[in-house]
Structure 1
Amino acid sequence: MLELSEAQIGGWLGAFMLPLFRIAAMLMVMPIIGTQLVPVRVRLYMALAISVVLVPTLPPMPDVDALSLPMMLLIAEQILVGVMMGFMLLLMFHVFAVAGQIIAMQMGLAFASMVDPANGVSVPVLGQFLLMLSTLLFLAMNGHLVVFEVLAESFVTLPVGEAFLLERYWLLAGKLSWVLGAGVLLALPAITALLVVNIAFGVMTRAAPQLNIFSIGFPMTLVLGMLIFWLSLADFLAHYQLIASDALQQLRELAGTP
């Protein structure tokens, strides 16, 4: 009769549970998979499936009792690492949402908002459009496969029990300003064109004070803003490739992968 000791069961359980918590934490936070559109049960099944495939290829896990305090600390560490990696990827998608919000405010379309089904909040229509477009491009270019590759490599570069969380935390905190800067640069051509339109309306108001700028300027700004936004989409793919490659490189730096 096969007999298993408590140490063997605890070792096998720890070897599977520690990677599972890091994988599940990233899947719960990262965009596309970690949104409200994907049920929590489906995300848990995906984490279990990835763990079953990935665990046999990982380095040995720390030999710690499964019900001890050190195991709880290791689990908390893995959850924090997974959340940081997922949040780093989430920043990339918020760049396009911020750019859409800035353009919508400049063209007077900020009042036209809709409920984002992924996050459950109201966002301007232009921001939601850019967010959906970037999501489709991310999946079409197999960005999710790159993320899973970085996740698998992170178990080698950030071994369980040896992750330098404080250093990684400050690295992540330093990237928060990157979102606003990238969003402004993405929306800068449209903002500049709309600024010229607003200056032109200001000159018209000074030249002909009898014109009602509120009844003429708002619809003209809205129509010209939509035209400028449509023309700016011609270079959207080039901007997306730069932002996506930069974000994935920062994700590699956070995970310590080359």
Structure 2
Amino acid sequence: MYEVDALEVGHWISRYLFPFARIAGLLMVMPLLGTRLVPTRIRLILAIMMTLAVVPILPPFPVVDPLSVAAMVIVLQQILIGVALGFVVELLNQVFVLAGQLIAMQTGLGIATTVDPSQGASVVVISQWLLFLVSLVFLSLNGHLVLIGIMIDSFFRLPVGFEGLGPDAFASIVQWGSWMFAAALVISLPALTALLVVNLAFGVMTRAAPQLNIFSLGFPVTMIVGLFILWLTLSEMASGFQGLMEEVFTFTRKLTG
């Protein structure tokens, strides 16, 4: 009669526990699925289903007692890897949120705020509108499927073990924050430049005709011009999002390689 010992049972548990930790960490922070709009139970079910589908093709894991300190260290490392992958891709959405805030401050629309249901925070309307736009583009380009594929490939590039992401990887993630601000500035630069020209024109008009009420005239004109420039650059933002998404996915592959 075949008997199952405790070590073999522990190996079976760890076989599914370690990949589940990395997948769950990704689903906690990745765009769309990691927001408050998706219930925790849905993310848990997705993580379990993905784990059951992925485990048969994964390389062998180290034999570790799932109740030991070593197993807890490995689980924490896997959660950090998943969170790091999802966090880097989430920065892509924050690029357009920041760009919307820059445009709103220059157009005078910064006073128009709304509550972001995905984050539970108050953001300007332009940022929320751009966030909806890039979320739809992200889904249309199958960005969520590409991210899941990168996560599965990370099990081969960075196998489950006692070695996780090194200090260089976390340093590169921190430096990636500067990329977010630079990309947001590039996206909002056409609107900011046009509004700067409008403000200079109003400055010249005020100098030439001091009796002109610049506040009652300049505020609505600035908003109209800002919305018009935003409409003109809308198609370029969608194509620019695709280029930025490719940069982000390239970085995530290097992060686990």
Q: TM-score range by the shorter chain?
A: over 0.9
3-state SS of 1:110 partner: helix
Q: Could you tell me how far 1:73 is from its partner in structure 2?
A: 0.5
Deviations 1:114-169 (A, max 9, x none): 00010000111111111110010010011111101100010111111232432211
3-state SS of 2:119 partner: coil
Asked if the contact 1:113/1:122 (under 8 Å) is kept, the reply is yes
CA–CA distance in 2 between the matches of 1:164 and 1:79?
A: 11
Q: What is the root-mean-square deviation in Å for CA atoms of aligned residues?
A: 1.0
| Structure-1 residue corresponding to 2:250 | 249
| Structure-2 residue corresponding to 1:143 | 143
Across the two proteins, how many residue pairs are aligned to each other?
256
5+ residue gaps, structure 1, are none
Task: Return the letter of the residue paired with 2:44.
Answer: L
Asked if the contact 2:81/2:165 (under 8 Å) is kept, the reply is no
3-state SS of 1:63 partner: coil
CA–CA distance in 2 between the matches of 1:234 and 1:199?
A: 27
TM-score with structure 2 setting the length: 0.97
CA–CA distance in 1 between the matches of 2:182 and 2:224?
A: 27
Q: Could you tell me how far 1:244 is from its partner in structure 2?
A: 1.0
CA–CA distance in 2 between the matches of 1:195 and 1:254?
A: 39
Asked if the contact 1:81/1:165 (under 8 Å) is kept, the reply is no
5+ residue gaps, structure 2, are none
| Structure-1 residue corresponding to 2:201 | 200
CA–CA distance in 2 between the matches of 1:38 and 1:164?
A: 28
| Structure-2 residue corresponding to 1:234 | 235
CA–CA distance in 1 between the matches of 2:146 and 2:219?
A: 44
Task: Give runs of aligned pairs for residues 1-258 of structure 1, distance below 5 A.
Answer: 3-161=3-161, 162-256=163-257
TM-score with structure 1 setting the length: 0.97
CA–CA distance in 2 between the matches of 1:222 and 1:146?
A: 38
Deviations 1:193-239 (A, max 9, x none): 00000000111100100011111110111111111111111312221
Q: Could you tell me how far 1:241 is from its partner in structure 2?
A: 1.5
* Deviating 4+ runs (over 4 angstroms): none
CA–CA distance in 2 between the matches of 1:71 and 1:233?
A: 49
